[in-house]
């Protein structure tokens, strides 16, 4: 990971020479420089450990008599159960993308115990887990393989699902590939079903590409998360996990929250704020109404017979 001193040096150079010249001078990508720009707005407090996560699973292999819409299959048709081929993960704003993939022999045997034990140690240290359909797919799959491999459950972490966050809006598609193209003009790596079949046969080239595909998804996930972040109504309040000393954005931990007006509930009024870094909105916790004013406010909308 790049040191804070190095980041400061790069950003100071950018102030004098501009974005593109800075990339060329230090030999860094535009995405890396944008990441450093986000970091400069972070408050110097204890940061929660936010892990972006993605997995790739093998298909179930089975035998059957025919194909069609009304084919009835049971567990007796399974000849080889699914397993996790690989996983990738990255700490938010960290340049390093971690990942593990089964070996050629492990793929043939359907044995993911080794990579699952490594993943367990990673999950154990995370405060927040982020993934695209992580609640509906990744975590159920991960926990199932933990159980199958006789691995105890990791300590619970807060979960943030970017698929659910995207569904709260009206994108033409909520797929990570589409959202990635929207945000970065770059989607997922191209794959075909044959790649999964080759992985099942233990072909090393296919396994290597699968891990690369998975890691690229983690990179894309970070950009999509940052794009959706200010609009997430259920985003975890990071201020609860940090030693904040002033009004701080609960979404990105930046200081300097700006008052933008009043926020009204059914019976109360509060000050509303906007983050100067990520743009997220928040409100104060104490009402701005006096006790006498509060006494005069009635709760409307009672249910009638």
CB 258 within 8 A of CB 207: no
Are residue 114 and residue 189 in the same domain, yes or no? yes
Are residue 187 and residue 57 in the same domain, yes or no? yes
Q: For residue 206, what pLDDT is reported?
A: 98
- The residue among 196, 215, 231 that closes a domain is 231
Could you give the CA distance from residue 174 to residue 167 in angstroms, rounded to a whole number? Answer: 6
Are residue 192 and residue 90 in the same domain, yes or no? yes
Are residue 142 and residue 283 in the same domain, yes or no? no
Are residue 28 and residue 61 in the same domain, yes or no? no
Burial classification of residue 227, based on how many CB atoms lie within 10 Å of its CB (0-12 exposed, 13-18 middle, 19 or more buried): middle
Residue 303 inside a domain? The answer is no
Residue 247 inside a domain? The answer is no
Are residue 115 and residue 129 in the same domain, yes or no? yes
Are residue 78 and residue 154 in the same domain, yes or no? yes
CATH of the domain at 106: 3.30.420.10
pTM for the complete prediction? 0.86
Burial classification of residue 207, based on how many CB atoms lie within 10 Å of its CB (0-12 exposed, 13-18 middle, 19 or more buried): buried
Please count the structural domains in the chain. Answer: 3
Are residue 129 and residue 209 in the same domain, yes or no? yes
How do residues 2-44 score in pLDDT, each as one tens digit? 677 788 888 888 888 888 899 999 898 887 887 777 766 554 5
Could you give the CA distance from residue 160 to residue 129 in angstroms, rounded to a whole number? Answer: 6
Residue 236 inside a domain? The answer is no
Residue 214 inside a domain? The answer is yes
Residue 242 inside a domain? The answer is no
- The residue among 190, 214, 231 that closes a domain is 231
Are residue 27 and residue 55 in the same domain, yes or no? no
Domain that holds residue 175: 46-66+73-231
Backbone angles phi, psi at 303, to 5 degrees: -70, 135
Residue 239 inside a domain? The answer is no
Burial classification of residue 135, based on how many CB atoms lie within 10 Å of its CB (0-12 exposed, 13-18 middle, 19 or more buried): middle
Could you give the CA distance from residue 263 to residue 157 in angstroms, rounded to a whole number? Answer: 31
CB 61 within 8 A of CB 119: no
CB 214 within 8 A of CB 246: no
Helix (H, G, I), strand (E, B) or coil at 159: strand
**Strand pairing category for 50-57 and 84-91:** antiparallel
Cβ neighbours around 147 below 10 Å, total: 11
User: For 28, what's the count of Cα atoms within 13 Å in the CB-facing half-sphere?
Assistant: 21
Listing DSSP states for 182-244 in one string gives HHHS--PPP--HHHHHHHHTT-HHHHHHHHHHHHHHHHHHHHHHHHHGGG-TT---GGGGS--
Are residue 106 and residue 36 in the same domain, yes or no? no
Burial classification of residue 261, based on how many CB atoms lie within 10 Å of its CB (0-12 exposed, 13-18 middle, 19 or more buried): exposed
Residue 246 inside a domain? The answer is no
Residue 248 inside a domain? The answer is no
Residues of the chain under the 70 pLDDT cut:
1-2, 39-46
**Strand pairing category for 78-80 and 258-264:** unpaired
CB 97 within 8 A of CB 90: yes
Are residue 165 and residue 188 in the same domain, yes or no? yes
Are residue 185 and residue 271 in the same domain, yes or no? no
Determine the straight-line distance between the first and last CA of the chain, rounded to whole angstroms. 64
Q: For residue 47, what pLDDT is reported?
A: 81
Could you give the CA distance from residue 53 to residue 222 in angstroms, rounded to a whole number? Answer: 9
């Amino acid at each position: 990971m790049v040191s804070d001193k190095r980041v400061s040096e790069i950003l100071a150079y950018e102030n004098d020479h501009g974005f593109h010249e800075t990339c060329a001078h230090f030999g860094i990508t535009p995405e890396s420089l944008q990441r450093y720009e986000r970091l400069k707005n972070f408050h110097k407090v204890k940061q929660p450990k936010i892990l972006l996560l993605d997995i790739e699973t093998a298909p179930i292999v089975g035998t059957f008599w025919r194909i069609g819409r009304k084919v009835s299959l049971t567990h007796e048709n399974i000849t080889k159960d699914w397993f996790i081929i690989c996983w990738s993960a990255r700490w938010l704003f960290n340049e390093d993308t971690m990942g593990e993939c089964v070996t050629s022999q492990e793929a043939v045997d359907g044995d993911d115990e080794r990579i699952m034990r490594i993943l367990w140690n990673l999950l154990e240290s995370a405060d927040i887990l982020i993934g695209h359909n992580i609640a509906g797919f990744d975590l159920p799959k991960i926990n199932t393989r933990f159980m199958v491999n006789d691995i105890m459950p990791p300590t619970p972490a807060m979960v943030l699902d970017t698929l659910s966050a995207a569904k709260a809006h009206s994108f033409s598609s909520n797929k990570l590939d589409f959202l990635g193209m929207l945000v970065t003009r770059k989607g997922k790596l191209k794959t075909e079903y044959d790649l999964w079949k080759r992985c099942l046969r233990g072909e090393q080239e296919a396994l290597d590409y699968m891990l690369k595909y998975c890691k690229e998804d983690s990179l894309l996930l970070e950009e999509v998360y940052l794009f959706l972040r200010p609009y997430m109504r259920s985003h975890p309040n990071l201020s609860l996990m940090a030693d904040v000393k002033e009004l701080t954005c609960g979404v990105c931990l930046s200081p300097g929250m700006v008052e933008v007006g009043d926020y009204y509930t059914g019976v109360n009024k509060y000050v509303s704020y906007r983050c100067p870094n990520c743009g997220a909105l928040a409100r104060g916790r104490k009402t701005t109404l006096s006790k006498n004013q509060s006494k005069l406010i009635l709760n409307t909308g009672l249910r009638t017979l």
